[in-house]
DNA sequence: AATATAATACCGAACGATCGGTATAATAAA
DNA sequence: TTTATTATACCGATCGTTCGGTATTATATT
């Protein structure tokens, strides 16, 4: 029916995602986004009529969808806890490029005043991830309360290790987090 | 011999700090900085001839100085470990407003490409904090390696809890971090 | 005490550049 | 031709920055 896209949607979102993750929402200028995507500003507005906000929205939505399919859902499966965590760790390592790429949940977080444009999506993502980890901990024998505490710690360690890896310019903190994830979440289980 | 300042340096830095912590470097426009400081844009340039970059530099330097005096140095004293950690936790709670204010080390971190304007200062700050925590863990009986691992975990939990508190719009994760800090760093010590 | 001088702090207005966004026209495939 | 994609050009607004000039103080001189 028409002329084909020079960059398909998936590639486009991925390239835009890099810019937002590297520079944040304010730092991601249309010039940068256009350069990274290989499209002109006008073409970006053809693909995202609502502009920069829509680009960030869709980038965030794609990241959350990836997380759902590659982290949340697998964690809710009925494989052995340690096995699930090992698989998730491997996928997280790819998603965050070994700690070299930041997390959108951090970089798009609202400035102090609560209701930023991404707040509710970010809040929901944190809760979903915590709940998924908690389920694994519970599966391993912890009671509801202890499992939730373990899960929150795991999410804190994930984001803390990303911040630290970026700050130190080293992938080691993130790699350590991945290596210890299973132990942090499961060690000392009742069963 | 001269007209007095309408805002003294300390206040000025504190007010600018809030803007940078809330909005990041790119998000902190001169308009916002002027409004928050009570000075005009032109007056800000009188106080900081090198402009926005200098403002951020001095804000960061002030934060690191505070950290040195209120966290690093106390942790290196010879009081009992748990006692030192309790005092530091109280101070951190104030510094981060119970988790409602972000950390400059996160918000000013370099975008992917290593050498941002703040990279070396941020890297040094992380290393100093890790080392201070490690010293406490060592004092409590851990060997060098274990102490360092504990310290890195503590710093990861600090920043992770801040990211999570902001994302969830709740001070609870940060409060939990502070409550568990002493245990996370010291529990299971050899001695 | 009164006045001039010097020094510093401050601000309104404007700079060029870039921001996000929008037309309109050319191009490429069906 | 028809239709979607892309490119050029442009818009008002805001960006960080600079400049001319004013306010407010202390000191020096009378």
CA dihedral B43, B46, B47, B50 (to 10 degrees): 120
- Pairs from A39-43 (Cβ < 8 Å, separation ≥ 24): A39/A6, A39/A7, A39/A12
pLDDT beyond 80 at B111:
no
What is the structure's pLDDT at A191?
Answer: 59
**Is B167's CB within 8 Å of A122's CB?**
yes
Spell out a b/e string for A46-71, using b for 16 or more CB atoms within 10 Å of the CB, else e: ebbeeebeebbbbbbebbbeebeebb
Structure-token pair, residue B143: 């060997």
Question: Are the Cβ atoms of A167 and B105 closer than 8 angstroms?
Answer: yes
User: In this model, does residue A92 exceed pLDDT 60?
Assistant: yes
Q: Domains (ranges, CATH) in chain A?
A: 9-186 (1.10.357.10)
pLDDT at A97: 97
Q: Which two tokens stand for residue B168?
A: 């969830």
Query: Is residue A120 over pLDDT 70?
Result: yes
Please, are residues A134 and A74 in contact by the beta-carbon 8 Å criterion? no
Torsion of CA A54, A55, A60, A64, to 10 degrees: 90
- Res A61: pLDDT: 94
Per-residue confidence (pLDDT) for residue A113, from 0 to 100 = 61
Average pLDDT, chain A: 93
Angle between helices B30-37 and B9-27 (to 10 degrees): 150
Which residues of B make CB contacts under 8 Å with A? Answer: 22-27, 100-103, 105-106, 109-114, 119, 122-123, 125-127, 149, 152-153, 155-161, 163-164, 166-169, 173, 176-177
Whether the pLDDT of residue B154 is over 90: the answer is yes
- Higher per-residue confidence, B177 vs B190: B177
CB-based contacts of A50, cutoff 8 Å, min separation 6? A57
Contact B152 A176 (CB under 8 A): yes
Best to test chain B binding among A124, A125, A167 (most B CBs inside 10 Å):
A167
Q: Are B20 and B52 in contact, with CB atoms under 8 Å apart?
A: no
A119: distance to nearest CA of chain B, Å? 7
Span A143-179, pLDDT tens digits: 999 999 999 999 999 999 999 999 999 999 999 999 9
Q: How far is B47 from chain A (nearest CA, A)?
A: 26
In this complex, which of A25, A109, A164 lies closest to B156 when CB atoms are compared? Answer: A164
Q: What angle do CA A147, A123, A176 make, to 5 degrees?
A: 55
Task: Note whether A144 and A138 are within 8 A (CB).
Answer: yes
Average pLDDT over residues A66-78: 97
Cα→Cα distances B141→B80, B129, B134, B154, B187, Å: 12, 19, 11, 17, 10
From the list B103, B169, B177, the residue facing A156 with the nearest CB is B177
Measuring CA to CA, which residue among A172, A142, A174 is closest to residue A157?
Answer: A174
The whole-number Å distance from A17's CA to C13's C1' is 40
The predicted-structure confidence for B22-48, as pLDDT tens digits, reads as follows 999 999 999 999 999 999 999 999 999
Alpha helix positions (H), chain A: 9-27, 30-37, 41-47, 52-67, 73-76, 81-95, 104-107, 119-139, 144-168, 172-186
Q: What is the pLDDT of residue B3?
A: 84
How much is the pLDDT for B1?
67
pLDDT at A105 over 70: yes
């Amino acid at each position: 029916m028409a002329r084909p896209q020079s960059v398909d949607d998936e590639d486009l979102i991925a390239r835009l995602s890099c810019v937002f993750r590297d520079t944040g929402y304010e730092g991601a200028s249309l010039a940068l986004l256009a350069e990274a995507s290989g499209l002109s500003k006008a073409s970006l507005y053809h693909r995202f009529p609502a502009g920069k906000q829509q680009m960030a929205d869709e980038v965030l939505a794609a990241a959350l969808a990836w997380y759902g399919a590659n982290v949340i859902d697998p964690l809710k499966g009925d494989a052995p806890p340690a096995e699930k965590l090992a698989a998730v760790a491997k996928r997280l390592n790819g998603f965050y490029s070994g700690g070299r790429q930041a997390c959108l949940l951090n970089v798009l977080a609202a400035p102090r005043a609560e209701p930023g444009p991404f707040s509710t999506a970010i809040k929901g993502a944190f809760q979903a991830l915590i709940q998924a980890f908690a389920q694994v901990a519970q599966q391993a024998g912890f009671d509801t309360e202890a499992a939730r505490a373990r899960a929150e710690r795991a999410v804190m360690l994930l984001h803390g290790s990303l911040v630290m890896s970026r700050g130190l310019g080293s992938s080691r903190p993130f790699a350590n987090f991945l290596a210890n994830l299973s132990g942090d979440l499961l060690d000392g289980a009742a069963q």
